[in-house]
């Protein structure tokens, strides 16, 4: 394995030479109060921190960064903290997904443009994990991902309640009149009890588990609660180990193989993770030069039992998963499906990592013969409505909708849907199919989590709690319901979804993985001729760049010019 020495440390290109420019770099470092000995001849480690005052899941990361830095200093490195775009999932509009690629670009260019030898990436709230990893993998410097950790468990009236999942449940109950105004208001301070990422198996937990399974985090990291003292120790370890990685020149390209990605997919399926992972894993894989497809994900999902009993599919929360042994323990149940020779960033194999792991609570991490659901975590659907694919979370479906034929009720945008859905005059029954379009990567834009369309209030009051819904949007990993998501191509680029009209018949067949708009080819062709491309929403700025660059969901929704592994030159120092 290649090793670094002082002369070929990347940072020393900035600091070490006897030139006027290097003099200026040393001078400016000292302007910040750094002694020469702090940065000269030492690996400079970036602590990329997605903390902000509007990112509640990362509220503790500024404090944790001090521990990361302490670890770096203890190992003989020089820490530099670099703030990066903080994507607080709930606060950012129109959706954090619109800015995932922005964060990826920011992370990549921070690492490339500055005197950095390696990095600790601090994130966890949904898009921050893929955003940071996509950017850092494209630069290919030694990295460790330090997950923010899940927030603490909460209870309400004796019942375990989880972030996101119970918000949706209680909202439907409130709409149906089963929760009163005072109770609804009191719930504002519940379910999100501490800093940390959603404690359910939402996108954050799914992506941090996948990152760990791929070897990008230290063993066990993903499940350590944000407020546990072990999380501070994890932060220190990330900093400490990052220096070693630099001296060993241990970059993602040296251990991130196809097997690493497949291990990530196996973990996702066993954990009952979010459908959002389909997009993010595809995007990360393309940055690493690994070919993956939606169809392959379906094949893996069919084989892997759902074992993790956490909301929204189960009964427990991430803190319980930590007590049950975390990811290494889960992996002991999956040895027939994992490549145990795959390595993490430190060079440990998965086999070595799990050799001492043990499941300590079988209610949370189930044995193979007691899977949480007979249905898998993911299914990939094709058909004339989604020729490039769509995804569903089968275990979250009502059984009666796994094979369903119904009348479409179409909404042309989220705004249209919100204006119409509770109109008492809306002609709708529980067996109709709710259709939302203009909610994809280009159409919304940014592909927000609008895919769990709200049910009409009048049906909620009749006791209806699920309907078949389909869209080109995403759905929060914390939610559930009979929702067909990520339809590709999306309506805004002329996908068949753009041609559906209220009253059309739609047929979904889970066992065939098929979604059809039951119209003749002639009728579809005529409608296609009449269809016009909607005008772009953004005429300038990041929005315009995004619209010009973003790919469809089945390809990972990255920017076309950011995918792939074509080399980017190091910046000249002069
Ligand atoms: Fe941050 Fe759910 S809102 S992880």
The Cα–Cα gap between 449 and 274 comes to 12
Residue 504 Cβ contacting ligand 1 at under 6 Å: no
Residue 59 Cβ contacting ligand 1 at under 6 Å: no
Q: Which atom of ligand 1 is nearest to the CA of 126?
A: 4
Residue 125 Cβ contacting ligand 1 at under 6 Å: yes
Strand partners for 2: none
Residues in CB range of 239: below 8 A, 6 or more apart: 45, 47, 67, 68, 69, 70, 71, 72, 73, 74, 75, 77, 79, 120
Structure confidence at residue 5 (pLDDT) = 79
Q: How far is the CA of 223 from the centre of ligand 1 (A)?
A: 14
The Cα–Cα gap between 269 and 305 comes to 7
- Mean per-residue pLDDT for 541-563? 97
Task: Give the other-Cβ count within 10 Å of 62's Cβ.
Answer: 15
The Cα–Cα gap between 215 and 354 comes to 13
Q: Flag whether pLDDT at 267 surpasses 80.
A: yes
The Cα–Cα gap between 127 and 316 comes to 23
Give whole-number Cα distances, 122 to 1, 37, 51, 65, 136, in Å. 27, 26, 8, 8, 12
The Cα–Cα gap between 267 and 269 comes to 5
Q: Flag whether pLDDT at 198 surpasses 90.
A: yes
pTM, rounded to two decimals: 0.97
Q: Whose CA is nearest to atom 1 of ligand 1?
A: 125
Q: How far is the CA of 562 from the centre of ligand 1 (A)?
A: 26
Of the two residues 392 and 166, the one the predictor is more confident about is: 392
The two tokens of residue 283 are: 């995007």
- Mean per-residue pLDDT for 87-104? 96
Of 390, 565, 412, nearest to 489 by C-alpha is 390
Strand partners for 46: 80, 119
Of 544, 543, 561, 421, nearest to 95 by C-alpha is 543
What are the chain's domains?
42-152+194-354 (3.40.50.2300), 159-190 (no CATH), 379-530 (3.50.30.80)
Residue 89 Cβ contacting ligand 1 at under 6 Å: yes
Residues in the chain: 574
The Cα–Cα gap between 69 and 552 comes to 39
Residue 204 Cβ contacting ligand 1 at under 6 Å: yes
Q: Which residue has the tokens 């369903």?
A: 404
Q: Model confidence over 334-375: pLDDT tens digits?
A: 999 999 999 999 999 999 999 999 999 999 999 999 999 999
By mean pLDDT, which of 168-177, 448-457, 470-479 is the weakest?
168-177
Kindly give the residue spans of alpha helices, DSSP state H, lying in 309-357.
Answer: 318-323, 326-332, 350-354
Q: How far is the CA of 125 from the centre of ligand 1 (A)?
A: 5
Structure confidence at residue 338 (pLDDT) = 98
Of 313, 338, 349, 321, nearest to 261 by C-alpha is 338
For 338-432, list the strands marked E by DSSP. Answer: 379-381, 389-392, 403-411
| CA 398 to chain centroid | 25
- Mean per-residue pLDDT for 72-93? 96
Of 200, 47, 67, 206, nearest to 136 by C-alpha is 47
Query: Sorting pLDDT into bands at 50, 70 and 90, what band is 313?
Result: confident
Residues in CB range of 414: below 8 A, 6 or more apart: 436, 438, 439, 444, 448, 450, 473
- Mean per-residue pLDDT for 163-169? 87
Q: Flag whether pLDDT at 1 surpasses 60.
A: no
- Mean per-residue pLDDT for 506-527? 97
Q: How far is the CA of 532 from the centre of ligand 1 (A)?
A: 37
Query: Sorting pLDDT into bands at 50, 70 and 90, what band is 4?
Result: confident
Q: Model confidence over 411-431: pLDDT tens digits?
A: 999 999 999 999 999 999 999
Structure confidence at residue 28 (pLDDT) = 97
Residue 359 Cβ contacting ligand 1 at under 6 Å: no
Q: Flag whether pLDDT at 3 surpasses 80.
A: no
Q: What radius of gyration, in Å, describes the C-alpha atoms of the chain?
A: 24
The Cα–Cα gap between 359 and 89 comes to 31
Residue 201 Cβ contacting ligand 1 at under 6 Å: no
Pairing of strands 44-49, 118-123: parallel
Q: Flag whether pLDDT at 2 surpasses 60.
A: no
The arrangement of strands across the sheet holding 379-381 comes to 379-381, 389-392, 483-488, 468-471, 433-436, 403-411, 505-509, 514-517
The Cα–Cα gap between 529 and 495 comes to 13
The Cα–Cα gap between 503 and 416 comes to 17
- Mean per-residue pLDDT for 470-475? 97
Helix (H) or strand (E) holding 387: none
Q: Whose CA is nearest to atom 3 of ligand 1?
A: 89
CB 437 within 8 A of CB 411: yes
Q: Which residue has the tokens 């047929």?
A: 507
Q: Model confidence over 21-34: pLDDT tens digits?
A: 999 999 999 999 99
- Mean per-residue pLDDT for 28-51? 96
Residues in CB range of 353: below 8 A, 6 or more apart: 219, 328, 331, 344
**276-288 vs 203-213: helix crossing angle, rounded to 10:** 30
List, as one string, the DSSP characters of 351-368.
HHHHTT---S-TTTB--G
Q: Which residue has the tokens 């670009």?
A: 105
Q: Which atom of ligand 1 is nearest to the CA of 124?
A: 4
């Amino acid at each position: 394995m290649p090793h670094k020495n002082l002369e070929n440390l990347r940072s020393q290109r900035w600091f070490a030479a006897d030139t006027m420019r290097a003099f200026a770099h040393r001078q400016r470092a000292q302007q910040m109060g750094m002694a020469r000995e702090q940065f000269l001849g030492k690996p400079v480690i970036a602590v990329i921190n997605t903390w902000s005052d509007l990112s509640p899941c990362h509220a503790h990361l500024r404090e944790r960064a001090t521990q990361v830095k302490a670890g770096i200093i203890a190992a003989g490195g020089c820490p530099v903290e670099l703030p990066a775009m903080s994507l607080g999932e709930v606060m950012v509009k129109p959706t954090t997904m619109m800015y995932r690629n922005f964060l990826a670009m920011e992370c990549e260019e921070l690492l490339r443009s500055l005197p950095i030898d390696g990095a600790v990436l601090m994130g966890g709230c949904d898009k921050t994990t893929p955003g940071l990893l996509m950017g850092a993998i494209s630069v290919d410097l030694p990295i460790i991902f330090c997950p923010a950790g899940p927030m603490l468990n909460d209870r309400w009236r004796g019942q375990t309640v989880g972030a996101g999942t119970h918000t949706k449940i209680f909202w439907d109950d409130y709409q149906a009149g089963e929760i009163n105004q005072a109770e609804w208001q009191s719930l504002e301070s519940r379910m999100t009890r501490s800093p940390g990422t959603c404690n359910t198996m939402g996108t954050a937990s799914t992506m941090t588990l996948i990152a760990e399974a791929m070897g990008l985090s230290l063993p066990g990291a993903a499940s350590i609660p944000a407020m546990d003292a072990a999380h501070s120790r994890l932060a220190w370890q990330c900093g400490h180990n990052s220096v070693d990685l630099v001296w060993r020149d241990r970059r993602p390209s040296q251990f991130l193989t196809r097997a690493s990605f497949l291990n990530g997919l196996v973990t996702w399926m066993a954990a009952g993770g979010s459908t959002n992972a389909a997009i993010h894993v595809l995007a990360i894989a393309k940055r690493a030069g690994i070919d993956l497809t939606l169809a392959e994900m379906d094949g893996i999902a069919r084989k892997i039992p759902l074992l993790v009993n956490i909301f929204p599919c189960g009964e427990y929360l991430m803190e319980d998963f930590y007590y049950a042994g975390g990811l290494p323990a889960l992996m002991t149940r999956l040895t027939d499906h994992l490549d145990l020779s795959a390595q993490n960033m430190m060079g440990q194999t998965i086999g070595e990592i799990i050799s001492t792991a043990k499941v300590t609570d079988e209610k949370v991490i189930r044995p193979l013969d007691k899977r949480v659901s007979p249905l898998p975590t993911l299914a990939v659907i094709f058909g004339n409505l989604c020729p490039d694919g769509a995804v569903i979370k089968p275990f979250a479906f009502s059984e009666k909708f796994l094979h369903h034929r119904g009348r479409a009720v179409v909404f042309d945008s989220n705004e249209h849907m919100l204006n119409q859905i509770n109109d008492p005059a809306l002609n709708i029954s529980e067996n109709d199919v709710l259709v939302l379009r203009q909610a994809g990567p280009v159409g919304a834009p940014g592909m927000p989590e609008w895919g769990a369309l709200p049910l009409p209030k009048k049906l909620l009051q009749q006791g209806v709690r699920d309907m078949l819904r389909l869209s080109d949007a995403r759905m929060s990993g914390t939610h559930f319901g009979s929702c067909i998501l990520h339809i590709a191509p999306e309506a805004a680029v002329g996908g068949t979804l753009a041609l559906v009209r209220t009253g059309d018949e739609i047929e979904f067949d889970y066992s065939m993985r098929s979604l059809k708009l039951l119209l003749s080819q002639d009728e579809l062709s005529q409608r296609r001729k009449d269809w016009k491309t909607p005008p772009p929403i953004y005429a300038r700025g990041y929005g315009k760049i995004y619209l010009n660059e973003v790919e469809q969901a089945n390809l990972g929704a990255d920017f076309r010019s950011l995918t792939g592994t074509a080399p980017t030159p190091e910046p000249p120092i002069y």
